[in-house]
Amino acid sequence: MLYITVLLIHILVCVFLIIVVLLQSGKAADLAGAFGGMGSQTAFGPRGSATLLSRATTFSAVLFMLTSLSLSILATRNAGLSSTVLEGSPASAPAKSKPAPAAPTAPAGGQTHTLPPGPPPDQPAPKK
C-alpha cells in the first residue's frame, strides 16, 4: 500500500516537473540573446530574484529525488531477498533416475573393445 502511494506521488511530481520546466523561459530569451549579445547585463548574465516558477522547479526536483530514493528502498525490501535464483531451479532437485551410461568410443587405432558377456554393471549378477 505504501509503495503504491509513493509511486502515485512520484508520477504526479514527474508530470508537474515537466510542466514547470517547459513553462520557464530560457536565460537568453530576448532578441539580443539570439545574436550572442547580453546588452546592459552583467558579465555572467542576470541574477534576479527567484521567481515562483524557479522555486516550484527546485521544490519538485527535490521531491522527485526523494520519491525516487524511497521507491528504490521499498522495491528492495519487497523483493524477497531471502531466496535465491538457484533454490527454485530444477537442477538443484535430487535426481530420480540414474543417467544413462556413456557409449564406448573407438580408440584412435580403429580397434574396438567389447565388454565381456554378462549382466550390465549396474545390475546384480543372477543367482545360480
Amino acid 12: pLDDT: 97
Domain boundaries of the chain, sorted by first residue = 1-24+52-78
Per-residue pLDDT of the chain (128 residues; tens, 9 = 90+): 899 999 999 999 999 999 999 998 776 555 555 566 555 555 555 556 678 888 999 999 999 999 999 999 999 887 765 566 666 666 655 556 666 666 666 666 666 656 666 666 676 666 76
pLDDT at 114: 66
Kindly report the pTM of this predicted structure.
Answer: 0.49
Q: Residue 2 in contact with residue 74, Cβ under 8 Å? A: yes
